Amino acid sequence: MTVLPEAVIEAWDNRKGPAIFTTVDEDGTPNVIYVGCCGRRGDDTLVVADNFFDKTRRNIQAGSKGAFLFMGGDGKAYQVKGSLEYHTEGEVFDEMKSWNPKDLPGHAATTLKVEAVYAGAEKLA
């Protein structure tokens, strides 16, 4: 199991601005979106709320892997890559509903299980 290094956990928890979330469709065409409603579960899983996904939802449901790109509070760019799961009920979904703004729909929670972590071009995990 790959985990986020402590420095990346700190950077994620103190990130600046929205994160960038990428999936690919069945033909390999990337889809990139900004996401602001995201969190972390432990040291090996990132979570994003599906408030307005369309192509992103279809890509996840078709088995896409994903990546997050974000700026840490330290001013460095980090990238986290991994496998995705889509949750419309259960513990992950309920946790997302607790931090997702009440005025947003929160249709589902998507988890990214960490498989690789980078700071710039440097592979950290």
Model pLDDT for residues 69-78, shown as the tens digit of each residue: 999 988 999 9
DSSP labels for 48-110? Answer: EEESS-SHHHHHHHTT-EEEEEEE-TTS-EEEEEEEEEEESSSHHHHHHHHHS-TTS---EEE
Per domain, the residue ranges of the chain are: 6-123
Residue 61 has a CB neighbour count (10 Å cut-off) of: 12
Model pLDDT for residues 25-47, shown as the tens digit of each residue: 999 999 999 999 999 999 999 99
pTM: 0.95
Q: What is the mean pLDDT of residues 57-86?
A: 97
What is the separation of C-alpha 4 from the centre of its chain, rounded to a whole number of angstroms? 13
Q: How confident is the model at residue 1 (pLDDT cuts 50, 70, 90)?
A: confident
Q: What is the dotted CATH code of the domain comprising 6-123? A: 2.30.110.10
